[in-house]
Amino acid sequence: MAHTEWIHALEKVVGADHVISGSEAGTFAVDGKVPQAVVFPSTVEETSSVMAIASEAALKTIPWGAGSQMALGAIPARVDLVVALKHLNHLVDHEWGDMTATVQGGMRLEDFQQALGQHQQYLPLDPPFADQATVGGLLATNASGPRRLFYGTARDLLIAITVVHADGTVTKGGAKVVKNVTGYDMNKLYIGSLGTLGIIAEATFRVYSRIAWEKTWLAPFLTLDHAEEAIAQIMDSSLVPNALELLDKAAARRVTNRASIGWTDGQYALAASVESVAEEAVDTQIEEIGRISRKVGSPGGNLLHDEPHHTFWREVRDITPGTNGTAPRHLRAVLKGGVLISKVADAFRVGEEEAKAQGLDICIVAEAGSGIVRYYVSAEDRSLQQFVEGTVSTVERIRSTCEAQEGSLIILEADAALKTRIDVWGPVKGLKLMQGIKERFDPRQTLNPGRFVGGI
């Protein structure tokens, strides 16, 4: 199909005002690659017709939610068409009595939360930049945040899904009930698949009630050893924090500053959030967490509740690279490591050492109880080449440490210049099986070619 022909075909499906091309498409570039056109379907049916045209015309196609995570993934092989989902943004249903809700993939998480909030319910997913991200985008990237310690991630919350495949076929998986083993669990396949198997058109979640009481104990630590011991003792107890976050000195300074919490510089911070229907249950746990922290060497601590509690956690989630979040975009990178719970402090140590050796700024935050470590690397006044060199070596060093502990390290966000130098995903177990799945779902490599693991 010729260029004008497929553009025309798309216009026929969604209306001429829902297709843009030429220079206007520039803001939808992925790793610098500008699409020939951007199409905005408003319904699942339109999305299906769009994909039928895209595969017919052999267009390399990139699904686009809010664009907040487009820096994730390897550089796409080619970009012809962006399918932007911002009009596929409706709440399909909220069965509040059953505590399930269905949304379209292009709905922003924040709008979804607001709708759920009308019945004092919410989806306990708190990924970075939750106010911008779309639900489909969150699922495709398997984004998560501090609350995963208690509530898990998308894989524990998603119960049904509707997907538009590369050739336009629409399928669903799962059911709108909290327990179901009919057929394979297709939900799991699409979570974290970065839009390489299909476009997430609808998603049904198990949702939760808002809990009356929630407070945070913020403990300072002068050394990582002490923080490490506190984490181990809290985890090996019957305490049930819903989040347990370790912040390095830079992150602690930044977050406390932005949340207006009194703080002495040069200390690590361990934050434990506790919730319950009973205030007493929160208080006794907070007390115990405070006691453990002091016992292993924490000098003091802050109790956060109400607004400061919420501000604190929002700032933890939304950290950006650079001391003040001011580093230029191309001199920033965000890395995500997975390690054993007992190796979280080691993962901090290697990050700190290597950044220092490379002369880079670094900020490290970890979901300590889950073994997920985020590194925010940046430089203020370096050449791009210097930054890339330093970051490549940092990635390699941290990656090999994570891998030695059965973990992994991926690059969540980086300039294309860095991505040409190093594999964003690192080595992957079971790659052949993954390639076999991709081949069967998208034999013509229509969706997001080259952005995922092992060249998928």
Residues from 78 through 97 that contact other proteins (CB under 8 A): 95-97
One of 318, 405, 416, 417 touching other proteins (CB under 8 A) = 405
Shortest spacing between CB 326 and other proteins, in angstroms:
29
Q: Which helix (H) or strand (E) holds 308?
A: helix 306-317
Distances (CA, A) of 61 to 56, 78, 169, 210: 12, 8, 15, 39
For other proteins, give the closer residue by CB, 95 or 307. Answer: 95
- Tell which positions 3-42 bind other proteins, by CB under 8 A: none
**Phi and psi for 241 in degrees, rounded to 5?**
-65, 145
For other proteins, give the closer residue by CB, 165 or 254. Answer: 165
CA dihedral 22, 26, 31, 37 (to 10 degrees): -40
d(CA 418, CA 210): 42
d(CA 406, CA 338): 9
- Tell which positions 206-225 bind other proteins, by CB under 8 A: 208-211
One of 22, 23, 183, 381 touching other proteins (CB under 8 A) = 183
One of 67, 152, 297, 450 touching other proteins (CB under 8 A) = 152
For other proteins, give the closer residue by CB, 100 or 267. Answer: 100
114 binds other proteins (CB under 8 A): no
What's the length of the chain?
Answer: 456
430 binds other proteins (CB under 8 A): yes
One of 340, 404, 420, 421 touching other proteins (CB under 8 A) = 340
| Total of residues contacting other proteins (CB under 8 A) | 89
Contact in structure between 376 and 316 (CB atoms under 8 Å)? no
404 binds other proteins (CB under 8 A): no
One of 77, 277, 357, 404 touching other proteins (CB under 8 A) = 277
d(CA 91, CA 94): 8
For other proteins, give the closer residue by CB, 28 or 375. Answer: 375
Q: Kindly write out the interface string for residues 42-81 of this chain, putting x where it contacts other proteins by CB under 8 A and - elsewhere.
A: ----------------------------------------
Residue type, 221: F
Contact in structure between 417 and 330 (CB atoms under 8 Å)? yes
Q: Kindly write out the interface string for residues 245-264 of this chain, putting x where it contacts other proteins by CB under 8 A and - elsewhere.
A: --------------------
Structure tokens at 346: 């080691």
Q: Which stretch binds other proteins (CB under 8 A): 123-131, 275-283, 302-310, 377-385?
A: 275-283
- Tell which positions 293-332 bind other proteins, by CB under 8 A: none
Q: Which stretch binds other proteins (CB under 8 A): 62-70, 278-286, 358-366, 412-420?
A: 278-286
Q: Which helix (H) or strand (E) holds 399?
A: helix 384-404
Distances (CA, A) of 408 to 117, 371, 425, 429: 36, 11, 8, 10
| Helices 344-358/224-235 angle, 10° precision | 150
One of 21, 142, 311, 323 touching other proteins (CB under 8 A) = 142
C-alpha Rg value of the chain to the nearest Å: 22
Contact in structure between 195 and 220 (CB atoms under 8 Å)? no
Q: Which stretch binds other proteins (CB under 8 A): 6-14, 17-25, 173-181, 309-317?
A: 173-181
**Strands 37-39 and 81-84, sheet pairing:** parallel
199 binds other proteins (CB under 8 A): no
273 binds other proteins (CB under 8 A): no
